[in-house]
Amino acid sequence: MLNYLAVSVIPIMIFVIIIVGIKEKKDVYALFIEGAVEGLKIVYKIFPYVLGITVAIGLLKNTNALNILLSPIIPILKCLGVPLDIIPLMVLRPLSGAASTALVMDIFKDSGPDSISGKIASVIMGGTETTLYTITILFAAAKVKTLRGTLIAGLLADATAIIIAIILVNIGMI
């Protein structure tokens, strides 16, 4: 029953929107086309930002640059009880949801979802946001130029969530 409701939500919403539009004597199809055109304009405006961040993430992952950049802090994190396979996730999560999901799947495959690494990865994925990606897209769409405060707050929130995930899993609360 619940599965049927979940599958039916979008068609029901579309039906309700059409009924309300007809009731208010609106040209629902014209409004839909107008919204689609606006959506395409937004996609056109933000595409360069999405492409740039996607290429940067691909380069970080595929050229081994991420491991080189992280090599100075790996011994410190290791002493603090951070599993080595979590470290790339800590860096990529604020950048990309797809890249971090791929890393989590690798962690699950290699260590298992119930391992310390799997649990930390799960909490990080649930407790953090793709901050840089989200800020890039939203601020580009809204044409906002100053983002320093937002960026600092978002990255501090991500860092806090990552630290709390590591602590809670290491002390056995999760």
Domain membership flag for residue 166? yes
pLDDT reported for residue 49:
77
Domain membership flag for residue 12? no
Domain membership flag for residue 20? no
Number of domains within the chain: 1
**Assessment of whether the complete model's pTM goes beyond 0.95:** no
pLDDT reported for residue 110:
92
Domain membership flag for residue 27? no
pLDDT reported for residue 114:
93
Domain membership flag for residue 107? yes
> If the chain, 174 residues long, is cut into consecutive pieces of 10 residues, what is the mean pLDDT of each piece?
81 91 90 91 82 79 81 88 88 86 91 94 93 84 82 93 93 84
Is 124 buried (19+), middle (13-18) or exposed (0-12) by CB count in 10 A? buried
Q: Is 73 helix (H, G, I), strand (E, B) or coil?
A: coil
pLDDT reported for residue 109:
93
